[in-house]
Structure 1
């Protein structure tokens, strides 16, 4: 399993985490933005009219309304990425990462418009009478690339577990345990039953639930965010300024934050932007294919609103909470994660300018004299006698380092370090360092009018966001299974989906996260390739839509 995990890390390094991937993702969005003459701006107002039901007609084929399809797709995108993903991007890339999340969302609005329109056009009615759509259908029915469609569908099924199910409940269970002391297995069991009651009812029940949950969870989170933003109102101006001034230069050092180069801020911002709004991934078109509409372009316009709501509104609020609170530059006592921790030779601290410069170069993968530490540490009651090393954690210098055995008892003895890593996996390292992901967001939410109660807003938000994501991705997976094996495969898939959801509440899902990271790219690249091949057809669809709409409007006036 460890070897397989390392293989997935290598594969991800060549794909999603590679330097070229953000350029491809943004490049396609930029191309269609220019090619279709900025539809995310020109059609924005019209999109709101469509989603309000102005053009809805009962005779249109489909399973859901425009609003329900939007809510289902939003429930799949508004998730842990909005709470933990933004915090992770800022903790790694600084304020500049938020700018590149915005850019991903802005151009992603056009990418969503294109992928949803084309997927809706080539949707089919299945043998059970429901609609099925998504990139696999235009790949198969229009491009005649069944092999590509099958690859996309398989990646969708894998992602439904790796993105939508297992890590979501794992995060929920951990959050409930930390905030309310609930046993993970209990949380998993209750939510698995609720999940089963929702998804076994199919898309109509899913749409009915998400259309109610999404507005509620967004309102709760937004109120909590403004409680912090207004409390720290004097910091909002400098926070906004830092986002723009650092966008093309990288983020400067601040407090315990050593600084991030442009490359790091750009890569992490775009990467987290995709994880948050999924523009170009091809998942949301599956939900939108269920919408009642006779014009594919009209549903494509509805999808323009997704990245706007998900990233430009909700992610921005999270970002401003984190930046204005100042929590992102402060060190907190925390358990050091092995994947984010490294021992290096010598004594370094960010408060010494020359040492900070050296650390900046090392952490941003530039030329540096810093070398990983290897050797034996003598430890007495948790503290190392040696002082010829420095611990880096979450791209910051760790302080007040303690070594614990099995996470509970202060260790006395020898700790072996090889190439910067602790050999004995039973040894736990704690200390003060920067924190990231949901932990950082939770700390930031406590620095507002709600005080320590702000942590419960994050916990409840995480619960609702992540649970709704699990609901939406179950639908994506069952449509992919419908394409691969037919309607009869859907029920066994749903049962297995719920069982895996329960298991992940108390199990280690690290390997699944890694598998999902690869599967997401295997979904995204074929989808981007496909919509580029159909660019002329897309342009014609848009032109025909406006001609028909103008004709229909003139007839109504007569």
Structure 2
């Protein structure tokens, strides 16, 4: 076991190290340049056709769920503890300047996610029982004919889900509730398992119906609480932004309990947290988007841009500003403890907002990633495996809550990063299709420009 964990550690350092981050961000830069900074130039149009049409029911085209239910499922899986603990870790390890590099990674990540969703719709399949299935394994096989690479992605996805999407999340919830309310982790695990079972048993339709209500609710609670604190600390906002931009290019000297960092650390931790929180390039979200009702791949692709914008530019930025404007970032704390302390320092009971956020964000992630995992297994062995995957998924929630199988978490984290390699190969190889569809969409009457 020791040898296996040492080997896993070495692979993990590569998977989540500079080479992989360069590959992921590089892919985003490539698509951003090839589309003429489309996600930035047309951000107003994108928000008008996503945020402003969030609950529209009069959608044309084929699909199982509405466009927003699909993106809500993707956001449910994406918006997790990384938005709370991950951002705090980036600032604690890379200084306030890490936030700038997190933003930059998100700007390029918006176009990567757009490309993933476009291809997911383009190459999705309709099953005999009327379900719409898709994702990297389908656009790699149907678009490139490389089934061997599609199988590799599906294997990584089916296994990785048990780490990032299951045990890590339930453990975060259990730890948070035990700290705030002294709640026994066993109880937390069992309750989470039961609630998850009630949702996932109905498949994507029930998951979509549930997440379209949960995601706006949980985001509203966290965003509102964060904005109140930012308003309370309004006088510190100009200084916070100045600190973010200055330290992004100069590093950050030691202050208080903060150890000080170089520019390289700011870049590394900012980009890494940005990629980790929005999952652009990982290949997970397009699995959910593939079930969306839409009349054109690019129309659903707009929701991919919105997804990264909401996750990183909005939610992660609020977390960062709360931490920096409160001055708590200088204490030497890190992770969820830093975020909780920052919220509590500026608002009575503010720490409970973080506890609620961790609970809802993690619960939604467990639901979203179960869907990703079962779709990956279905690709490998067929639809009869779906119920088997759901049954196996449930007890692992309890195992994670009580802190068991930590070596498995580490392996799953590595597999999670490895998912990106076949996905990025597929994206780059099919980039011409993405560009062709994008040009077609915006030059047609469908764009309504």
Q: TM-score range by the shorter chain?
A: over 0.9
Structure 1 residue ranges without an equivalent (≥5): 331-433
1:441 alignment partner in structure 2: 339
Which residue does 1:499 correspond to in 2? 395
Q: Does 1:3 align with 2:3?
A: yes
Residue 226 of structure 1: how far off its partner (Å): 2.1
Q: Which has the higher contact order (CA 8 A, sep 6+)?
A: 2
Residues of 1 paired with 2:101 and 2:59: CA distance?
41
Q: How far off is 1:488 after superposition? A: 0.5
Q: Aligned equivalents of 1:301 and 1:57: distance in 2?
A: 17
* TM-score where L is the length of structure 1: 0.78
Deviation at 1:93? 0.5
The question of whether the paired residues in 2 share the 8 Å contact of 1:167 and 1:509 is answered with no
Paired position in structure 2 for 1:540? 436
By how many angstroms is 1:65 displaced?
Answer: 0.7
Deviation sequence 1:143-174 (CA, Å, 0-9, x none): 11111101101111122111111100000011
Deviation, structure 1 residue 126: 2.2
Consecutive unaligned residues in structure 2, runs of 5 or more: none
The structural deviation recorded for 1:58 is 5.6
Tell me which structure has the larger Cα radius of gyration: 1
Q: In the alignment, which residue of structure 2 is the partner of 1:24?
A: 23
Q: Structure 1 CA distance, aligned partners of 2:379 and 2:58?
A: 28
Residue 129 of structure 2 corresponds to 128
Tell me the CA shift for residue 230 of structure 1. Answer: 2.2
Give the 5 Å matches for 1:272-421: 272-330=273-331
Shifted more, 107-116 versus 53-62: the winner is 53-62
Equivalent pair of 2:59/2:66 in contact (CA under 8 Å):
no
**Paired residue for 1:159?**
160
Residue 406 of structure 2 corresponds to 510
Larger helix share, 1 or 2: 2
Q: What is residue 217 of structure 2 aligned with on the other side?
A: 216
Judge which range, 229-238 or 459-468, deviates more.
Answer: 229-238
The residue number in structure 2 matching 1:43 is 42
Show the counterpart of 2:358.
462
Contact 2:374 2:386 in 1 (8 A): yes
Instruction: Deviation per CA, 1:39-62: give whole Å up to 9, x if none.
Output: 112332333343316996566211
SS at match of 2:407: helix
Cα shift readout 1:272-312 (whole Å, capped 9, x = no counterpart): 11110001111110111010012111111111101111001
Write 1 or 2 for the structure with the bigger share of strand.
1
1:503 and 1:484 map into 2 onto residues whose CA distance is 26
Please give the per-residue CA displacement for 1:5-53, whole angstroms capped at 9, x wherever unaligned.
2221111122222x22222221111111110111112332333343316
Secondary structure of the 1:129 match is coil
In structure 2, how many angstroms separate the alpha carbons of the residues matched to 1:480 and 1:192? Answer: 21
1:256 alignment counterpart: 257
Structural RMSD (CA): 1.7
- After TM superposition, the runs of 4+ consecutive aligned structure 1 residues lying more than 4 A away are 53-59
State the alpha-carbon separation in 1 of the partners of residues 23 and 254 from structure 2: 29
Q: What is the number of residues matched between the two proteins?
A: 447
In the TM superposition, residue 80 of structure 1 has moved relative to its aligned partner by: 0.2
- 2:426 alignment partner, one of 521, 530, 533: 530
Structure 1 residues 88, 208: closer, same or farther in 2, change over 3 A? same
TM-score (norm. length: structure 2)? 0.96
Shift in alpha-carbon separation, 1:446–1:531, aligned structure 2, 3 A = same
